């Protein structure tokens, strides 16, 4: 009986810790503050390497690597063969400008798993950051880091390769805002406002209050001659807080065309009436010949 109770306590406690860690992870991914949940999880079990790693990453994001070092060291001590710990530390070191140490940590992650795409991608980002373009391209390709590759090709003016990488990135992650907006901007630049409008609309399906997507959609619809819906999208961008003068210019252009479209029949009718009236007056005033 005592043994059964001990087993139930052990697994029940482990499950509670797992639930607490999962809750902290969800809070972190949603952009909230997971620190209280992580502190509680570590207090309940100081041997949770993943909790130390997540707390280290949160701390590094907020206050820098130095404040997170103790948690990184604890995670490494508890799980020295875990590639995610080495990768997380390498990323934090790279963000802190500790290039050599960041490279070493990422190399260790790859020594543990040479096929770890995320570690290759992080190493490629580090190489790009310090200006080693050739190495960055090689590592980013091995990491299937399509968004980063697209950014490089956009900088190079290689729109065709950038478009392929953006499409690949969206195949893997359809909600990626930046890739979707870049793809839409490329479509506009290449004279395809219909495709651009479709991409902006898809992006708004995931991010409905995105100012840049609303402004882009308005511009694309203006190019298509869809003035009424262009006005709606552009007003949405202004309501969301846009202070871009280009949005204001597009809105003025769309409204002007709307006014002209609605007013021209009356203008033509008025001209016809005026011409008819002038002709009638002239005929009345025409002198009689004898």
The pTM of the whole model exceeds 0.95: no
**CA distance linking residue 24 with residue 40, whole number of Å:** 10
Residue of 21, 12, 94, 26 whose CA lies nearest to 53: 21
DSSP string, 244-287: -HHHHHHHHHHHHHHHHHHHHHHHHHHHHHHHHHHHHHHHHHSP
pLDDT value at residue 258: 83
- Torsion of the alpha carbons at 205, 210, 214 and 215, rounded to the nearest 10: -150
Structure tokens at 105: 């940590």
Q: Helices 99-112 & 83-95, crossing angle to 10 degrees?
A: 160
**pLDDT tens digits along 235-288:** 999 999 999 999 999 999 999 988 877 654 544 444 544 555 555 555 655 555
- Tell me phi and psi for residue 191, to 5 degrees: 75, 30
CB 232, CB 215: distance < 8 Å: no
Residues lower than pLDDT 70 in the chain: 1-20, 262-290
**pLDDT for 287:** 55
Residue 72 has which token pair?
A: 């990184």
Contact between 234 and 247 under an 8 Å Cβ cutoff? The reply is yes
Q: What is the pLDDT of residue 13?
A: 44
Neighbours of 276 (CB within 10 A): 10
Show the tokens assigned to 237.
């961008």
């Amino acid at each position: 009986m005592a043994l059964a109770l001990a087993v139930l306590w052990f697994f029940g406690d482990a499950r509670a810790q797992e639930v607490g860690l999962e809750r902290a992870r969800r809070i972190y991914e949603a952009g909230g503050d997971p620190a209280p949940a992580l502190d509680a999880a570590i207090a309940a079990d100081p041997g949770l390497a993943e909790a130390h790693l997540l707390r280290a990453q949160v701390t590094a994001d907020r206050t820098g690597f130095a404040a997170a070092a103790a948690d990184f060291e604890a995670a490494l001590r508890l799980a020295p063969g875990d590639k995610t710990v080495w990768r997380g530390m390498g990323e934090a070191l790279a963000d802190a400008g500790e290039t050599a140490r960041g490279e070493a940590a990422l190399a260790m992650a790859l020594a543990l798993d040479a096929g770890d795409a995320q570690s290759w991608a992080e190493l490629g980002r580090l190489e790009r950051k310090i200006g080693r373009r050739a190495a960055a391209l090689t590592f980013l390709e091995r990491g299937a880091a399509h968004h980063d590759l697209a950014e490089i090709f956009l900088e190079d003016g290689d729109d065709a390769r950038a478009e392929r990488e953006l499409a690949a990135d969206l195949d893997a992650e359809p909600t990626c805002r930046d890739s979707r907006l870049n793809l839409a901007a490329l479509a506009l630049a290449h004279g395809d406002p219909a495709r651009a409008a479709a991409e902006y609309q898809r992006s708004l399906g995931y991010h409905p209050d995105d100012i840049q997507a609303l402004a882009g959609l308005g511009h694309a619809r203006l190019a298509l001659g869809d003035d009424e819906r262009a006005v709606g999208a552009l007003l949405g961008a202004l309501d969301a807080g846009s202070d871009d003068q280009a949005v204001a210019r597009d809105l003025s252009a769309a409204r002007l065309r709307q006014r002209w479209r609605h007013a021209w029949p009356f203008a033509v009718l008025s001209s016809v009436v005026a011409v008819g009236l002038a002709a009638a007056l002239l005929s009345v005033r025409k002198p009689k010949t004898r």
